[in-house]
Amino acid sequence: MKNILKITLIALTTILLANCNRSNAGKSRLTGLSFNDPKNGNYIRSNSFEGQKPPLGMVEIEGGSFTMGQVQDDVMFDWNTTPKKMHVRSFFMDEAEVTNSEYFLYVQYIKDVFPPSEEKYKHIYNSVLPDTLVWRKSLGNTDILAENYFRHPAYADYPVVGVSWLQANEFCKWRTNAVNLKTLIEKGHIENIFERDSVRNFFDTDVFLADDSQLFEGDTTIYKRGVRTRGRSSNAGPNSFQGRKITKADGILQQKFRLPTEAEWEFAAKANIENREYNNIRGRKKYAWDGKYTREKEKRSRGDQLANFKQGRGNYSGLPGWSSDGSDIPIRIKSYPPNAFGLYDMSGNVAEWVADVYRPIIDNEANDFNYFRGNLFTKKMINQDGQVVIVGGETAQVEYDTLPNGRIIPKQLPGSIKYIPITKDDATFRTNFSKAENANIGDGDLNSTRYYEDDEERFASRPSMYNSPKKPMRVRDSITGRDVIATDSKSRTTLISDKTRVYKGGSWSDREYWLDPAQRRYLPEYMATNYIGFRCVTDKLGPMTYKKRKKRTPTR
């Protein structure tokens, strides 16, 4: 009987406390004003945040400190990977590279939304297509790969290649919008627009948050409901939009997908979590896996290669009947064991683009927290009426850019918000940044600018270090009447410029030396190869980890 009374008392106390917490959950802790209540101003407060789930295809990478750079002997003696201590924040990363099938979905979507048959869209579809001719070789019989690697189902789960850094970035932006569109449809906030033939399916997250009437050709009947509030307006009809519009404060929308920074990529690839002993790192990791060698140690598959790479001159996969790595070109994702974070192919298969502008030295004295070189600070363009400018709308035309290789790309997709670099006025009296473009910040030498040779009297005998080509222009040939690409004939002294990007990890065509996650190489952002792919990351919000700390066992 006593036990029954105790249980009843505990149950009643729990119910009272729950009701009390529920009554206070929607109120300001300091003022008592109700949130999401039309009778109290309808001020916004989202529900309690209990952590993010990894997005589809991603794994969580818990941040922390690590030694960025090479910890082995520098056989090249170029001091390009000098060890630096860095801290990286927690983030989510694709468990494998973006595949041909996933990128083909993106290509199909762009063709559907921006038909190349329409004059104003004619360059957009071609701008996202991979360069399949990267497989051609002057002395090689490889045309079969140029014709089939991207589209044939035999290679659907192989990593996409022939994609430039610029194209990889555009894929990340599209993925953000595609995921948010699907989320809003699944949660019932908007109709399934894919079932409406009369509405273009382009969706932009920033436009949705700033002015959703600019989406779906202005058809606002697509919006079914927003976030629920405590009351409802008396004049709201049964078929009218209910609740209030969704904002970023509601935590419904996915954070932006992007390319990983070099520090994030290397941190994730090294996965020192398996080498951690209390608060120290035990030993040095040469590859994405633990161990000094590229071959499997386990008895069942002993001797098999742990990555796809070139093992010697003319040896891409081993002898017939005894293939040591299973492929002579990129192989299907997840063909090898993952590293300690659960990431596949961080060493070998294809190298991967990262976000950073290349410089020989990583400057952790300037910044040792979430290091990244290449920030371009922008702001939304506002017209005379105080409204955001939409690309391709009534107040702005679609602008195209011609790359040095002659490819024409849109500066921004039609229907997205136009962003412009910040001005000096925006950075006045700031101590954390002073200009919009920060690719060459802190270089410390005049040679880092392409305009170094402009002062011919003073610097005539000293060539520019980062001497980049002038932007090519389309001009009309006076004789043939055809448009041609005109460039300058000035000689180049280096590939390094403010448009040169880092790529990491070894590939199917690289020797074992490049499998070290610390190794870094570079290529202009508009170029593509048959050995560079990419994967996406997105930021993790809130604490570094929601895992509870375990009590330390006291030593005796």
Q: Are 272 and 285 in contact (CB under 8 A)?
A: yes
- Residue with tokens 């920033």, as numbered in its chain: 206
pLDDT at position 496 is: 83
SS (H, E, C) 171-232: HHHHHHHHHHHHHHHHCCCECCHHHCCCCCCCCCHHHHHHHHHHCHHHCHHHECECECCCCC
Q: Are 512 and 233 in contact (CB under 8 A)?
A: no
pLDDT at position 248 is: 87
Using CB atoms within 10 Å of the CB of residue 504, give its burial: 0 to 12 exposed, 13 to 18 middle, 19+ buried: buried
pLDDT at position 457 is: 47
Q: Which segment, 315-324, 349-358, 390-399, is predicted with the most confidence on average?
A: 349-358
Which structure tokens are listed for 148? 């089939």
- Whole-number average pLDDT of the chain: 85
Query: Angle 100-113/165-186 helices, nearest 10 degrees?
Result: 80
Share of the chain above pLDDT 70, in %: 83
Q: Are 267 and 281 in contact (CB under 8 A)?
A: no
492 or 500: which carries more pLDDT confidence?
500
Q: Quote the pTM value.
A: 0.88
Which structure tokens are listed for 389? 């400018």
- Residue with tokens 């609740």, as numbered in its chain: 243
Q: How far is CA 25 from CA 13, 21, 51, 97, 231, in A?
A: 18, 6, 18, 42, 16
The contacts of residue 469 (CB under 8 Å, 6+ apart) are 404, 487, 488, 490, 492
| Digit-coded pLDDT (tens) for 200-240 | 778 999 999 998 888 888 888 888 878 776 655 445 555 56
C-alpha 350/C-alpha 100 separation (Å) is 13
pLDDT at position 203 is: 93
Q: Are 542 and 53 in contact (CB under 8 A)?
A: no
358 or 480: which carries more pLDDT confidence?
358
Q: Are 508 and 330 in contact (CB under 8 A)?
A: yes
* pLDDT confidence bin for 25, thresholds 50/70/90: low
491 or 541: which carries more pLDDT confidence?
541
Q: What is the mean pLDDT of residues 311-324?
A: 85
Specify the 3-state DSSP secondary structure of 103: helix
C-alpha 473/C-alpha 476 separation (Å) is 10
pLDDT over threshold 50, residue 459: no
C-alpha 144/C-alpha 317 separation (Å) is 19
Q: Are 113 and 194 in contact (CB under 8 A)?
A: no
* pLDDT confidence bin for 2, thresholds 50/70/90: low
62 or 405: which carries more pLDDT confidence?
62
* pLDDT confidence bin for 23, thresholds 50/70/90: very low
pLDDT at position 464 is: 59
- Residue with tokens 């790359």, as numbered in its chain: 403
pLDDT at position 21 is: 43
- Amino acid identity at 203: F
Q: What is the mean pLDDT of residues 461-466?
A: 56
323 Cα distance to chain centroid: 34
- Amino acid identity at 387: Q
Lowest-confidence segment of 368-377, 483-492, 530-539 by average pLDDT: 483-492
Q: Which residues are 142's β-sheet partners?
A: none
444 Cα distance to chain centroid: 29
* pLDDT confidence bin for 445, thresholds 50/70/90: low
| Digit-coded pLDDT (tens) for 86-104 | 999 999 999 999 999 999 9
Q: How far is CA 365 from CA 261, 336, 362, 369, 370, in A?
A: 18, 37, 9, 10, 13
pLDDT at position 503 is: 98
236 or 43: which carries more pLDDT confidence?
43
Q: What is the mean pLDDT of residues 64-73?
A: 85
Q: How far is CA 255 from CA 54, 87, 236, 543, in A?
A: 11, 21, 32, 16
Q: Are 40 and 32 in contact (CB under 8 A)?
A: no
pLDDT over threshold 90, residue 300: no
Residue of 27, 5, 8 whose CA lies nearest to 16: 8
pLDDT at position 347 is: 94
Q: Are 116 and 124 in contact (CB under 8 A)?
A: yes
What are phi and psi for residue 339, nearest 5 degrees?
-85, -170
Residue of 370, 352, 363, 343 whose CA lies nearest to 520: 352
Q: Which residues are 85's β-sheet partners?
A: 67
| 209 torsion bin: left (phi>0), alpha (psi -120 to 50), beta (else) | alpha
pLDDT at position 475 is: 80
| Digit-coded pLDDT (tens) for 139-168 | 999 999 999 999 999 999 999 999 999 999
Share of the chain above pLDDT 90, in %: 48
pLDDT over threshold 50, residue 20: no
pLDDT at position 235 is: 52
Q: Are 359 and 500 in contact (CB under 8 A)?
A: no
For residue 65, what is the enclosing H or E element? strand 64-68
pLDDT at position 460 is: 47
C-alpha 404/C-alpha 395 separation (Å) is 29
